[in-house]
Structure 1
């Protein structure tokens, strides 16, 4: 029997793998090709510098002016003024919050796809019980990273004060521009965001794909409450980028991928990692499987599961399955019992009665924690909290269970959400 005092040696393997992944965010200006440099680890996202004739081009601008200033300093004399153009791969604040610093008084053109201008901010969902996928308020001792970035707004918040609106947009599938003697193809590649734009430097063999490729399983269905990111469009975008045969790739996060064979592997694994989960989920839906059944059945192949580009640091196969199910066939799982179920409080009251009362339910939840059955402990505590949200003992048990679950995660957003919820549940404890 597993106990808290004697955990198996590999019980925290996921946490240690996540901790090791932080090496991806070490600060460095990396030469990608002649005249192309990437600043990695200075902000929540990478910034790419392209040297031209009598000036520079910047692709993405970091999360805020503070980070952008640090990157300007790191680039040093590699950054040749004036900055002639800024390109946004997409509108997420960690990529677009430091534009004013790079622009300075240079007055650069600012390029994006038209969709960036037309789309509003992501809707998202408010936090429940303090849950935060980015762990912005976790104490340093508990925080590891944010999955595809070292930290998301923990030190310097993401703001829009450094954002500059695009001055030149394109509406089609691609547009080729020439800035400071640098020929670039801007390719609309919807995937992680609907406006995502890849930058292709054909004469230097460099692809800048925005957030369509990460060294993590893609976050198709984020737990912070966003719609499913359409997998078919994402797959098509990856196919389009594969056809370029790039020699180097500077993703929006984590360290660049260098070498034609390695770039092809990254793009291929990413595409196949999305496609196989989509295909398996749709097949299961047609067979009448429920979401709860599908998350137990849908898997990456052994080869894909070992890919360094598909580790579940940020996205999750199980979350993708649930997002695909809801997007394709809605909330109903096909079980008639679930057409008009009891309310959580009604169901919980009956469960507590079956257990012999709240004291016995609490005792069972506590026992589950002690024996390492953390998920069951949290679910039993939820029964008590559905009837009495202020039940201090149940809150303590649930906080302990979530803390133990969080410490065993390889997925940073899951870890952060477990631990911030546990922190919220414990905040009134003395």
Structure 2
């Protein structure tokens, strides 16, 4: 029996809460600061869900991404202080996620800047997928403070000030190709089409300063190829191609869409190459497995990053994971069917539960088995057995209690923020539901 993200119970016992501790340490990435990337280029980090970059030009400024909402944007304006010279000549959206586009009205003010993006942003859907069930929320928006650590790529996702579209301004200038050369306020720059986490993502390149503002195609975490929250698997081959473009630039400085900046060429090259190599490794091994007729479950157990990549500081699984990526790539390329004919028309969860519970000797026996699994820290097995009981009786209070305990234990051992948040929000939701029923 395997448990969290392919870890066995014994492995969990050895590592205990090291995943949670790593995630806690990761919160340092989101401390509030304005970083001088190079003379005339500043990144505001930690004031909102995403980074905002200020480029000083002749007689004005350029803003790349605008934070999650007008409240955050105002705080960033204050943090920039006199570094920001008015008028703001241009605002550039790297992509359409609301945490990057929600504060444009504040930066624009009365300056009437041009708003730049790729043409695809005009038709891109805002990133609103959630995949919720039983109160699950990958961002932990409603978790109490004692349960919440961070959201993987940001300190908090709308927990204090919600992400809104109130501050969004539609683009006034778009491009439709692979790149666009511009000079704005005397600053030469290139907009490069780099799809990956977002289909419309662009990266901003300042060739004379060798500064790369990457958007969300590159972050300090294993890439979120197959989001837990209910979005399509991202275009893996395009993502690899995008990173190849960025590597070829040989940047000296990198400002990602979230978290801290990279301030030297060697680290930039190493981090960009590691991100590309990790995606390519998982993609290639999954495709090889599909060709050999292997199932997603088999491949999740088999495909692990090589040690050098697995230990890389830019590839820790705070946001995306190898296991989910394997499943996403499999489904993207081979569909839902894993080749086992038993699964062509499977039994319903309730029908299966009826037979399994009867096989083990009835509800009391399975409940006893689930509680025993908790005692020996087989939390995944405890949760699965509680699901069988709840499939038969959604109001089974003892089975719900087992599931709540199992999910909390699973969540507390997670390094991946979205998994942790989902486990704990469902556990809390089930507990609250129990309280309401008891009244």
Matches within 5 A, 1:118-197: 118-122=123-127, 124-197=129-202
2:90 alignment partner, SS class: strand
Q: CA RMSD in A?
A: 1.2
8 Å contact from structure 2 (residues 282, 326) kept in 1:
yes
What is the CA distance between 1:125 and its match in structure 2? 4.8
Distance 2:73 2:24 in 1: 26
Q: Tell me which residue corresponds to 1:234.
A: 239
What is the CA distance between 1:34 and its match in structure 2? 1.1
Give TM-score scaled by structure 1 length: 0.97
Consecutive unaligned residues of structure 2, counting only runs of 5 or more, are 1-8
Q: Tell me which residue corresponds to 1:395.
A: 400
Distance 2:70 2:243 in 1: 31
- Does structure 1 residue 86 correspond to structure 2 residue 91? yes
Q: 1:342 aligns with which of 347, 359, 365?
A: 347
Matches within 5 A, 1:205-216: 205-216=210-221
- Does structure 1 residue 325 correspond to structure 2 residue 330? yes
| Residues 242-301 of structure 1: CA deviation (Å, up to 9, x unaligned) | 110100000000000110010001110000010000001011111111001110000100
| Residues 193-237 of structure 1: CA deviation (Å, up to 9, x unaligned) | 010000000001100010011110000000111111011000000
Q: 2:66 aligns with which of 61, 66, 75?
A: 61
Matches within 5 A, 1:251-290: 251-290=256-295
Deviation >4 Å, runs of 4+: none
Q: Tell me which residue corresponds to 2:376.
A: 371
Give TM-score scaled by structure 2 length: 0.95
What is the CA distance between 1:126 and its match in structure 2? 4.4
Distance 1:172 1:425 in 2: 49
Between 267-276 and 385-394, report the one with greater CA deviation.
385-394
Q: Tell me which residue corresponds to 2:114.
A: 109
Q: 2:413 aligns with which of 383, 408, 411?
A: 408
Distance 2:350 2:262 in 1: 51
Consecutive unaligned residues of structure 1, counting only runs of 5 or more, are none
What is the CA distance between 1:359 and its match in structure 2? 1.0
| Residues 3-49 of structure 1: CA deviation (Å, up to 9, x unaligned) | x9xx9573000000000000000110000011000000000000000
Distance 2:416 2:371 in 1: 26
2:204 alignment partner, SS class: strand
1:365 alignment partner, SS class: helix
